[in-house]
Structure 1
Amino acid sequence: MSVSEPEKAAPLSTEIADKDISLTFAKGMEVLEAFESAATPLTIPDLARLTGINRSVTRRLILTLVRLGYLTEAHRAYAPTPRVLRLASGYLKGRQFGRTVQPVMAAYSRQLGDAISLAVRDGSDAIYVAYSPGDPALITSGFGIGSRLPLTATAIGRALLAFSEEAIIDELLAAPLPSFTPATKTDPAALRTDLCETRSRGYARVTGEYEPGVTSVAVPVLGTDRIAKAALGIVGPEARFEENSVCTQKATTLKECAETLASFL
């Protein structure tokens, strides 16, 4: 399945004064994040174009990342090394993903017969932080840990958004909304209606808005304040989810999984 280029992450928090920020470090992170959607190694001109950073500055940042072991170079093109996974290890270890989250997801994945993904909100995207495969004969999302999906065009994104603070929803819907297929909802009013329906029934259901012919179903992992800390989602061919009863049944099982995970996240 195709992977659409993700939207840019949210800007740095305005709560921190500019004088307290290292702009060089911020640019280095921009360069590193540019590899996120790259299927092939990138050259310095590629990275300068993607980040909008001066080419000579980009070169110095790239060479620094090579020296630190986060990038490798071959034929004047650069690619991430496994060392970049260290950046996520603290987050995953701190929440004991391997010891608690993953076994719970695996149990419910077997029960559903579907691959289950766990995502958290990062700016205008949902980012996968855990994944449990289901029946290999069935269609899967084609995404793995670290993949980003838009909040507005996917069920796992809408489950996160529908149970977010109203200010976050207002800010996101005030910006131009990306379109991925002819079915993608880009009208803010239509999306608000969908988010209200998601809150009312307790789960999100999206068909063909991110990829044609694909339906996704997702539920929030709620905190004590009823705000989503994360979301659990499954995907499959549209024909498998045509019956409302099927979606409701799968969403009920996902909610059980979400309630189990809530204390770990």
Structure 2
Amino acid sequence: MPLRTPEKAEPAPMEIADKDISLTFAKGMEVLEAFENAAAPLTIPDLARSTGINRSVTRRLVLTLVRLGYLTETGQRAYAPSPKVLRLASGYLKERQFGRTVQPVMAAFSKRLGDAISLAVRDGTEAIYVAYSPGDPALITSGFGIGSRLPLSATAIGRALLAFCEEDAAEEILAHAQPPFTQKTITDPEAIRAELAAIRERGYALVTGEYEPGVTSIAVPVLGAGAVAKAALGIVGPTARFEETGICDQKAATLRDCAETLESFV
């Protein structure tokens, strides 16, 4: 069943002037964000190269973050995030009652589907997982968890967010080159626009082999005011599991029921 088309975006909030911004604080956040994809502790030279910030400034920022408890020194002058960084996300998760309401709903629908369900929101040009439920501990999971990021253009959960976001935001994202992840990845902006239109008509996103070979994903939007996606729910698994006639429509319908249940909480 097709979903409502996003209405025109409301006027953007007033821009914040540079003079009202703490550039030092902004650089400190850049240093923290540099650890996002790090597989091992980073040294000050590593961080300086990653952020483009002067090495002496990077050193002061790192030592400040150590003093504040957000980074820990792991030896050989290398640093890693401490558990304290999780506090930065706790307010977001608590305010939306993820533990008390969202997680139980997702767990119930995960058992009905026989698939692990992920909930993601849009963060710039990426989708970031904010909740995850395997439902049944015996289920094979995708290897992604809370905090994992996925591209908007090549994944079902990303396209569900993109298809139902404000038109201006979608066009801004499509204006940038989309990197291919596999031989099947759609990168042409016009082809992606056509796919987004099909998603709005169909009511769910279906992507096969575009992000990982042999993997299929299905996702639906969690809609808010103006039929704009506040989040998206998705499942993922080996393509062979989704080849039975009608199975994708069935799973998408169950995901949509879950999304409608969550609309007042997310």
Pairwise CA RMSD of aligned residues? 1.3
Counterpart of 2:32? 32
How many residues are treated as equivalent by the alignment? 253
Counterpart of 1:156? 157
Deviations 1:136-171 (Å, cap 9, x if unpaired)? 554422111111111101100000000011101110
Q: Which amino acid aligns with 1:118?
A: L
Aligned-partner Cα distance in 1 for 2:45–2:71? 16
Q: Which amino acid aligns with 2:154?
A: A
Displacement, 1:180? 1.3
User: 1:92 and 2:93 equivalent?
Assistant: yes
Displacement, 1:95? 0.7
Displacement, 1:243? 3.4
Q: Which amino acid aligns with 1:57?
A: V
TM-score by length of structure 2 reads 0.92
Q: Does the CA-based 8 Å contact 1:138-1:236 persist in structure 2?
A: no
Aligned-partner Cα distance in 2 for 1:93–1:135? 24
Aligned-partner Cα distance in 1 for 2:245–2:129? 26
- Stretches of structure 2 lacking an aligned partner (at least 5 in a row): 1-12
Deviations 1:54-86 (Å, cap 9, x if unpaired)? 111111111111110001112211111110000
Counterpart of 1:182? 183
**Counterparts in 2 of 1:1-265, with a 5 A limit?**
15-74=15-74, 75-265=76-266
Q: Does the CA-based 8 Å contact 2:70-2:85 persist in structure 1?
A: yes
Flag as ranges the 4+ runs of structure 1 deviating above 4 A: 135-138
Q: Does the CA-based 8 Å contact 1:139-1:237 persist in structure 2?
A: no
Q: Which amino acid aligns with 2:50?
A: L
Aligned-partner Cα distance in 2 for 1:47–1:179? 27
Over the matched positions of the two proteins, sequence identity in percent amounts to: 79
Displacement, 1:213? 1.0
SS of equivalent to 2:53: coil
- Stretches of structure 1 lacking an aligned partner (at least 5 in a row): 1-12
Greater RCO between the two (CA within 8 Å, min separation 6)? 2
Aligned-partner Cα distance in 1 for 2:218–2:49? 36
Aligned-partner Cα distance in 2 for 1:134–1:158? 24
